[in-house]
């Protein structure tokens, strides 16, 4: 898959690739919404592998341009909504929501570039507001699959419970085997009685290079990134 990205703006990183690998564990179907699509990579990868009807939402016009371009280049049909996820009135409910949302909190050193700032920092899409809206647009047994800052796991689980989501599966991502997790991948479902599956942690680097599991995730994604100016 070819993914065009801005030369001087926000680009996807390994978080999105690991989230995609996590999503592939589940039976994705029906109407799927990619929240904060950026270049479009996450939704397009999922649409490549599953028979879904893909809707993407992106608030930044330049990033929405790349979502549309990459969908066209890869011959994938999408319904693209340009605007703030929290403000959009969706005409249908979804079976799945997927997202690599902005999750850096206000105490983290912030980027001076507006586009990167919007893509990374949670004040632009507060997690509680994200969940509140997600609860209203998911079907009764719909699921939300996303990644978040592992250090904020207590707050994430508390808010999932508040908005009637059941944690069905999770996986922690560690940069190295002796380092703390810096990312958590979560599958949360409405109207579920299932117990939670805790997958083995993914270790990104071993002996100074990508681990076999990390390399496998990159290979399965099979993305060729091209940076360009518009």
Rounded Cα–Cα distance for residues 222 and 225 (Å): 10
Q: What is the pLDDT along the chain (230 residues), one digit of tens a residue?
A: 999 998 887 788 899 999 999 999 999 999 999 999 999 999 999 999 999 999 999 998 999 999 999 999 999 999 999 999 999 999 999 999 999 997 556 555 554 555 454 445 555 578 999 999 999 999 999 999 999 999 999 999 999 999 999 999 999 999 999 999 999 999 999 988 889 999 999 999 999 999 999 999 999 999 999 998 77
Q: What is the pLDDT of residue 118?
A: 47
Cα–Cα distance, 222 to 119 (Å, whole number): 23
* Predicted local confidence at residue 136, as pLDDT: 95
Rounded CA-CA distance 184/92 in Å is 29
d(CA 125, CA 128) in angstroms, rounded, equals: 9
What is the model's pTM?
0.91
DSSP per-residue string spanning 202-213: EE-EETTEE-HH
pLDDT of residue 119: 47
Contact criterion met (CB below 8 Å) for 145 and 42: no
User: For residue 199, what are the contacts with CB-CB under 8 A and spacing of at least 6?
Assistant: 22, 25, 169, 170, 171
Q: What is the pLDDT of residue 11?
A: 81
């Amino acid at each position: 898959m070819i993914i065009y990205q801005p030369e001087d703006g926000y680009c996807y990183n390994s978080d999105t690739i690991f989230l995609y690998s996590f999503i592939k564990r589940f039976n994705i179907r029906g109407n799927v919404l990619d929240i904060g699509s950026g270049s479009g990579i996450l939704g397009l990868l999922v649409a490549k592998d599953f028979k879904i009807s893909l809707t993407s939402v992106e608030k930044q016009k330049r990033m929405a341009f790349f979502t549309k371009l990459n969908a066209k280049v890869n011959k994938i049909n999408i319904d693209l909504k340009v605007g703030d996820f929290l403000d959009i009135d969706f005409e249908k409910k979804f079976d799945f929501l997927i997202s690599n949302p902005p999750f850096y909190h206000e105490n983290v050193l912030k980027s001076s570039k507006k586009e990167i700032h919007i893509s990374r920092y949670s004040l632009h899409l507060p997690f509680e507001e994200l969940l509140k809206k997600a609860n209203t647009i998911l079907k009764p047994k719909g699921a939300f699959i996303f990644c978040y800052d592992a250090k904020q796991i207590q707050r994430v689980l508390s808010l999932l419970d508040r908005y009637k989501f059941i944690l069905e599966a999770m996986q922690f991502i560690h940069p190295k085997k002796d380092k703390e997790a810096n990312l958590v991948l979560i599958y949360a479902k409405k109207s579920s009685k299932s117990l939670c599956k805790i997958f083995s942690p993914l270790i990104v680097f071993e002996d100074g290079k990508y681990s076999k599991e990390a390399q496998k995730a990159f290979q399965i994604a099979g993305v060729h990134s091209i940076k360009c100016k518009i």
